[in-house]
Amino acid sequence: MTVNQVEPLGKVRTKIVATLGPASREPAMLRRLVEAGVDVFRLNFSHGSHEEHSKTFDAIQEIGRETGRQIAILQDLCGPKIRLGSIAGDVVACDLDAQFVLTRNPVAPLDPHELTCTYEELPDDLDIGQTVLFADGTVGMMVMEKRPGWVRMKVTLPGRIRSNQGINVPGAALSVSALTAKDLADLEWTASHAVSYVGLSFVRHAADVTRLRAELQSRGSRARIIAKIEKPQAVANLESIVAEADGVMVARGDLGVEIDVSKVPAVQKQIIEACHRARVPVITATQMLNSMESSSRPTRAEASDVFNAVLDGSDAVMLSGETAIGMYPVETVATMSQIAHEAEILAFNRSQSGYGGWPMGAETCRNCPCGPTGTVARAGQVLPITESVVEAASLVAAKLRAALLVVATHSGRTALALSKQRSATPTLALTDDLEVAQAMALYWGVTPLHVPELYQSGQVAAFADEWCREHDLINTGDRLVVVRGVIPGNPSHNALLVHEVE
């Protein structure tokens, strides 16, 4: 039997997503980040050229082959992020009550108080009395006067703004599409690169996800879709968006500007709970260890934030500027891994004591809104038979104190369902599909393994036994609980068996 070798199953079950940038995209640094615990690399298409991203993509794939690790790649589309145009002098102070103009057609381009933006229709979409926020909400202005293609604003929250910084209009129903012309051009890049996930920015409705899926399918891409929740409209339509997406990101940066920052923690928990009910992976993101951009240690508040995001049930936690432009990218990943591990220990101890550990587990899977038997599933959707089998497998593994849960899956759905059980038993997922193996790198607690051949039911246990012996993961008398998500010739069947190591 031939198979890509991987490192033994790690202790940390929560996956780590790292954003790449100038501080981290060189091959030597990529390797160090993988060794420190990165499972998913995020390519931010708000920055960089296709040529640069292709070079980084190839480097990640090569490191995956060299290390035997399955590494997922998340291509994050820019989306309709509204940004300031160039400002005369690049930066301008916004004093309290100072007046600025936002216009489609500037008449005095050397006047720093005359602003433009990337979304030309914005002045027409604004109303008198509406608040406009700049630079991640650090500067605020109120619309005082309006004409076609032009508004006059007064500063209500003073600060400084720079060229190309972001603009937010909380609560506004802007007419801009979720997929921009740039996004569509970036999807042409996607078509020739086997990324695991595509992040859709500024989702407002499930139809936004549906449209992206159609665009991907028309280009022959199998990439799964991560819906980024960062607009109040997305929170209002959360259930339908989660039902359509393959994964969700709690994008707290723009979300914390679009809604009151005091509401963000509650909305974060709401999103995570919705994803668990739907059996969809969820990533918690933005400013998790922000101080580590310039410090080798996090603040106590940041450590608590990561810890609680794991306890809430996040499948993955994400680093942004910390790894893209920070001074300590490797140390940041190692720190996040350590904090996540401590949170997992607490959750498992609580579960064993009966106090309550993870927010969703085997006891709630019967409430999962699974589709009816025979329906066509999206990449992440878990069907009722699969849900029942993995619940049983999780209970059997706990009862027998099994050394390992082994799942053989073609689509990855069975591994995802098993992941959502939050079992204390490590999970090894076998698949004959390389793209599925890489996508499963995002699944909590799952170590994916690419097995080129799809083994018959009896051979899965024998293969797992052999592989685990080679990696010193099992001893004589240990038990493996094996789940088959696909049985050749019986695609509608699942199977569960227990293998005792001789």
Q: What is the mean pLDDT of the chain?
A: 88
Q: Are 162 and 153 in contact (CB under 8 A)?
A: no
Which H or E element spans position 348? helix 329-353
**What is the reported pLDDT for 364?**
44
Q: In this predicted model, what pLDDT tens digit does every residue of 421-479 receive, in sequence order?
A: 999 898 999 998 999 999 999 999 999 999 887 655 557 888 888 888 888 888 888 89
d(CA 428, CA 447): 5
d(CA 239, CA 270): 10
Identify the band that residue 291 occupies on the pLDDT scale cut at 50, 70 and 90: very high
- pLDDT of 51 strictly over 80: yes
d(CA 225, CA 209): 7
Of the candidates 243, 254, 240, which has an alpha carbon nearest to the alpha carbon of residue 79? Answer: 254
**What is the reported pLDDT for 372?**
34
Identify the band that residue 368 occupies on the pLDDT scale cut at 50, 70 and 90: very low
For the CA atoms of 60, 190, 253, 130, what is the dihedral angle to 10 degrees? 160
Q: In this predicted model, what pLDDT tens digit does every residue of 150-165 receive, in sequence order?
A: 999 999 999 999 998 8
Higher confidence at residue 205 or residue 351? 205
Stretch 132-140: mean pLDDT, rounded? 92
Stretch 193-201: mean pLDDT, rounded? 97
d(CA 73, CA 198): 9
Percent of the chain at pLDDT exceeding 90: 65
- pLDDT of 310 strictly over 70: yes
- Give me the DSSP letters along 16-68: EEEE-STTT-SHHHHHHHHHHT--EEEEETTSS-HHHHHHHHHHHHHHHHHHT
- pLDDT of 193 strictly over 80: yes
Q: In this predicted model, what pLDDT tens digit does every residue of 53-96 receive, in sequence order?
A: 999 999 999 999 999 899 999 999 999 888 899 999 999 999 99
- pLDDT of 8 strictly over 50: no
**What is the reported pLDDT for 172?**
77
Q: Are 148 and 103 in contact (CB under 8 A)?
A: no
- pLDDT of 206 strictly over 80: yes
Sequence letter at residue 250: V
**What is the reported pLDDT for 456?**
56
- pLDDT of 262 strictly over 90: yes
Identify the band that residue 381 occupies on the pLDDT scale cut at 50, 70 and 90: low
- pLDDT of 379 strictly over 60: no
**What is the reported pLDDT for 490?**
61
Identify the band that residue 340 occupies on the pLDDT scale cut at 50, 70 and 90: very high
- pLDDT of 292 strictly over 50: yes
Stretch 228-247: mean pLDDT, rounded? 95
